[in-house]
């Protein structure tokens, strides 16, 4: 950031000229100090002193605060301003060949035109610049005189109720950077007003230079800070919500190649004033088709102010073709004088690794770590989803016979092998849509959606028992693993909970335990 040397500015004027000079001085105070009432609360490190003098020369008690003191003295008789006056400053944008009304002061009762005079085609007033090139000012004493020869200029001025005007160029390094002037001045003092405007020309260009330097320094500092912040993001852009101008602070090499742009400076890409067009083209290229609409809705800059109201940020997640899972966000930066959102940061971070961790944690939360099938909580929740939808089916409870004896005889390590083998056999014996879970210890459950036929159920029991019978645990020396099974149908007619269905299947299991060894019983409400 640039640092300015100690500087003070002093304004002196004849009291009779206050009506003309005070608006200019107030503008300077407003734009060069944070607080008009206290010039020492300043943003550019210099005070502003204002006083009047009835002499026509620089008064002797000029207070020189430093070696760099600018003194602007307004002398002469009073400049009478008409009741319809309007003063303004226009600044040119050569790249777009337009000029913009950046400042405006109006007499009481005169409607401001500043919002209507943005991006004015310079060709409409091209002849003004020809006059400026001859070191002359544009003086129009009656716009009706230019009606035929300068039709476009005439129409522009007539629409603003301009009758006459005086306009002077703003020069910087021998180049015209804009103009300033007065609409509807008194015809009797056109020459005096021209002289007056020439006098403040140096002041205006000095102030605009200071403003631009300060703005540039602030912008560079701001972008620099964002560049540091961007280390956690794969892409970042500073966007003007109102104009759609933007700077890309950081982006992927693939995006740069796709856009066909080159960096202007480290950490900054300057592109056209069309952020919606940019982001839409990028998302159409790099976002998966299934998520494209939702993603484009999120990056809609026209709605971002409403969506950010009362929030520090808004986020959205999507899958990118290049970088995998991404999280994009808008962050409000600042607001204009009317409280409207002015700038936002648009940031994209890669969360692919985060998503994999989340998926892993979710998997671990749902899975029985010993067997790899669903744990009790996850299994109950899944079966409950079927029951809530009134999906008919068959719930089976399975229990290993004399499992304590296995642990006591062969050790707990062999007991663990038995549990793992049973879980693996259950998984292989069931369909993908079937819910297989370990309830705890040596107890398992299976829910088979859509099964209501007793014969089909019994065929499933036989196949399952056959598969269990073929389990071979080396340490058990060929001894079979025996299971008991209790089952209960749900016809999908009534509302039922998992616990209710479980109790019915458990009653059937009790009957199977009495028989021992590959025994299956289906719950019968009549018994």
Q: What is the pTM of this model?
A: 0.43
Q: pLDDT at position 104, please?
A: 80
User: Mind spelling out the 3-state secondary structure of 259-315?
Assistant: HCCCCCECCEEECCCCHHHHHHHHHHHHECHHHHHHHHHHCCCCCHHHHHCCCCCEE
Alpha-carbon span 506 to 495, nearest angstrom: 19
Could you report the average pLDDT of every consecutive run of 10 residues in the chain (527 residues)?
Answer: 44 63 68 46 43 42 42 46 72 80 77 82 90 87 91 90 87 80 72 58 57 52 54 80 81 67 51 72 82 88 92 90 86 86 88 82 85 92 94 95 91 94 94 94 95 94 93 90 94 92 94 86 83
Q: pLDDT at position 279, please?
A: 81
Structural domains in the chain plus CATH codes: 8-74 (no CATH), 86-202 (3.30.450.40), 233-355 (3.30.450), 367-522 (3.30.70.270)
Alpha-carbon span 201 to 429, nearest angstrom: 92
DSSP percent split of the chain into helix, strand, coil, nearest 5: 40, 25, 35
Q: Is 183 left (phi over 0), alpha (psi -120 to 50) or beta?
A: beta
Question: Is 55:161 a contact under the CB 8 Å cutoff?
Answer: no
**pLDDT tens readout for residues 71-114:** 555 544 444 455 677 778 888 877 678 888 877 877 777 788 88
Cα 171–Cα 175–Cα 178 angle in degrees, nearest 5: 55
Alpha-carbon span 77 to 241, nearest angstrom: 47
């Amino acid at each position: 950031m640039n640092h300015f040397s100690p500087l003070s500015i002093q304004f002196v004027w004849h009291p009779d000229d206050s009506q003309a000079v005070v608006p200019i001085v107030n503008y300077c105070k407003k734009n060069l100090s944070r607080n008009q009432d206290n010039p020492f609360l300043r943003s550019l490190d210099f005070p502003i002193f204002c006083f009047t003098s009835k002499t026509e020369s620089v008064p002797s008690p000029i207070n020189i605060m430093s070696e760099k003191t600018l003194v602007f003295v307004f002398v002469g008789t009073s400049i009478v301003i008409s009741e319809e006056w309007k003063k303004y400053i226009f600044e040119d944008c050569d790249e777009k060949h337009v000029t913009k009304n950046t400042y405006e002061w109006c007499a009481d009762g005169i409607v401001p035109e500043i919002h209507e005079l943005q991006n004015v085609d310079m060709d409409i007033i091209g002849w003004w610049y020809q006059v400026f090139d001859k070191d002359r000012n544009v003086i129009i004493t009656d716009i009706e005189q230019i009606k035929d020869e300068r039709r476009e200029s005439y129409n522009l001025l007539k629409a603003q109720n301009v009758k006459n005007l005086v306009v002077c160029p703003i020069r910087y390094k021998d180049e015209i950077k804009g103009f300033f002037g007065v609409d509807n001045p008194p015809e009797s003092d056109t020459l005096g007003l021209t002289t007056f405007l020439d006098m403040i020309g140096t002041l205006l260009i000095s102030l605009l230079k200071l403003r631009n330097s300060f703005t540039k320094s602030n912008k560079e500092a701001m972008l620099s800070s964002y560049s540091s912040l961007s280390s956690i993001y794969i892409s970042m852009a500073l966007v003007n919500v109102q104009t759609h101008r933007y700077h890309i602070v950081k982006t992927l090499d693939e995006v740069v190649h796709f856009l066909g742009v080159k960096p202007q400076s480290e950490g900054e890409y300057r592109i056209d004033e069309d952020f919606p067009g940019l982001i839409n083209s990028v998302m159409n290229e790099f976002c998966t088709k299934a998520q494209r609409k939702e993603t484009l809705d999120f990056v809609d800059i026209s709605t971002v102010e409403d969506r950010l109201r009362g929030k520090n940020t808004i986020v959205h997640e999507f899958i990118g073709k290049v970088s995998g899972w991404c999280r994009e966000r808008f962050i409000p930066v600042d607001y204009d004088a009317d409280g409207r959102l002015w700038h936002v940061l648009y940031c994209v971070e890669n969360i692919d690794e985060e998503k994999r961790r989340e998926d892993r944690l979710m998997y671990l939360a749902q899975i029985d770590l010993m067997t790899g099938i669903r744990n009790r909580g996850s299994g109950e929740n899944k079966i409950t989803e079927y029951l809530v939808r009134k999906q008919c089916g068959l719930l089976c409870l399975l229990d290993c016979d004399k499992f304590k004896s296995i642990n006591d005889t062969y050790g707990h390590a062999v007991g663990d092998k038995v549990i793992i083998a049973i879980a693996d056999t259950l998984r292989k014996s069931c369909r993908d849509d079937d819910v297989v879970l370990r309830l705890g210890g040596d107890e398992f459950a299976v829910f088979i959606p859509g099964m209501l036929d007793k014969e089909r159920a019994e065929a499933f029991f036989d196949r399952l028992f056959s598969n269990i019978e073929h389990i071979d645990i080396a340490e058990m020396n060929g001894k079979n693993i025996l299971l008991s099974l209790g089952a209960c149908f749900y016809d999908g007619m009534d509302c039922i909970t998992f616990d209710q269905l479980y109790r019915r299947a458990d009653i059937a299991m009790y009957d199977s335990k009495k028989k021992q060894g590959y025994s299956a019983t289906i719950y019968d409400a009549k018994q």
